[in-house]
Amino acid sequence: MEFELTDTQKDIQKAAREFAEKEFDPDLALELDGEGKFPRALFEKACRLGFVGIDYPEEYGGQSLGLFESVLVTEEFCKKDSGIGASISLADMASGIILRYGSEAQKKSLLIPVAQGKAINTVAMLDPFDGANPAPAKAEESPSEYVISGKKTFVVNGSIAQALVVFCEVRPGAAVALIVEGNQAGVRALEKRKMMGLWMMSVNDMVFDRVKVAKDRLLGGVGNDVMTSFLAEQRIKASAQAVGISQGALNQTVKHTKEREQFGRKIIQFQGLQFMFAEMYTQIEAARSLVYRAASSYQEKSSDLERITCAAKVFAADVAVRTTLDAIQMHGGVGLMREYSIERMFRDVKTIQNLIETNLSERAWIGKSFV
């Protein structure tokens, strides 16, 4: 196995880092986050420069690279700003499964607009928490179409996505992934949910009121393959976000402790803090390696894909939570103040850890896979 990135990968990493350093202004980020606004201009720029859709084949507007390269970009973006980075990373959440399972027509119509910065897409997967009214979204099948009725919760960018892939049961135990347009008749995004972090993104419950979906908008087949692939891919993306944010938190904390003086010296001189840095560094490196391994497994469609992606997500997200909490701690009182954006890194990372799939579900999956 190779531990070094290829020259192409290094170039991409460098380009992403330079873009983020130059464009992700901390004051702008704070403003966008405070106002709950999607970083539209930065997203469009990232698309024009080829960062978004880096893993789409050229004929769909991409760079014909892979998830691995997308991970490198996400890491660099999230390192500079957790909110902007995560927002850009999650803006094409459905593209991975469209790439893997989509028909030619579906790929053309859905991927090209995203690569051009003209559209964002998302996935509606989570069912309502309390099984209340409306009920979890289900699809009724007829010879010519599917009809979706019910509710999905926590849909990332639900109110602004042009296209949504909706996972629903068509009959007990059998799921379908249906491509729905955001402005289609019967699709309604409820009021934005107030989340702990990732405030730049809108997270909405969605209600589907007899939404008609033509058969050619079925993504893949009936069954769980599409969902399984989606989850594997999202775990990798979430881990990449987590590693990026962790590194950003570490870097910022080193900077702060080199400047902050107490007891007659810069506080980075205190070994107690140095031990904390040692812990952070070790864990971030371990998480990064695991994420890269998982990204490779996805591209190679390895047989251990589920386990390794679960492990990567669990580990990287936990490392990110611990790292950002410690980053706040090492900043002292300043770490608690919103204007310094350190506490935001923690809130964003905690949201990433739990929004799409939880560490607990992933642990349960790994454990069960040994039975």
- Name the site residues for other proteins (rule: CB under 8 A): 125-131, 136, 153-154, 193-197, 203, 261-263, 270, 272-273, 321, 325, 328-329, 332-333, 335-339, 343, 346-347, 350-351, 353-361, 363-364, 367
**Under 8 Å between Cβ of 65 and 182:** no
CB of 348 to other proteins, least distance (A): 10
* Cβ count near 6 (within 10 Å): 11
Q: How far is the CB of 274 from other proteins (least distance, A)?
A: 12
Q: Min. distance of Cβ 363 from other proteins in angstroms?
A: 6
Place of tokens 């894909």: 305
For residue 147, what are the CA distances in angstroms to 7, 123, 144, 265?
A: 48, 17, 10, 67
Q: Measured from the CB of residue 92, what is the shortest distance to other proteins in angstroms?
A: 20
Smallest separation, CB 361 to other proteins (Å): 6
Nearer to other proteins, 12 or 195 (CB): 195
Q: Is the dihedral of CA 221, 139, 162, 155 positive or negative?
A: negative
- Closest-CA residue to 324 (of 159, 196, 186): 196
Q: Which is nearer to other proteins, 294 or 342 (CB)?
A: 342
* Residue closer to other proteins (CB basis): 11 or 339: 339
Q: Which is nearer to other proteins, 73 or 123 (CB)?
A: 123
Q: To the nearest whole angstrom, how small is the minimum distance from the Cβ of residue 11 to other proteins?
A: 36
CB nearer to other proteins: pick between 143 and 333: 333
Residue at 103: amino acid letter: S
Q: Given the complex with other proteins, which of 112 and 334 has the nearer CB atom? A: 334
Residue 4 CA to residue 282 CA, distance in Å, equals 18
User: Which neighbouring-strand residues pair with 336?
Assistant: none
Note whether 140 and 146 are within 8 A (CB).
yes
Q: Which residue's CB is nearer to other proteins, number 221 or number 367?
A: 367
d(C-alpha 355, C-alpha 154), whole Å: 7
Q: How far is the CB of 222 from other proteins (least distance, A)?
A: 19
307 CB-near residues (< 8 Å, 6+ apart): 365, 366, 369
Rounded distance, CA 84 to CA 270, Å? Answer: 33
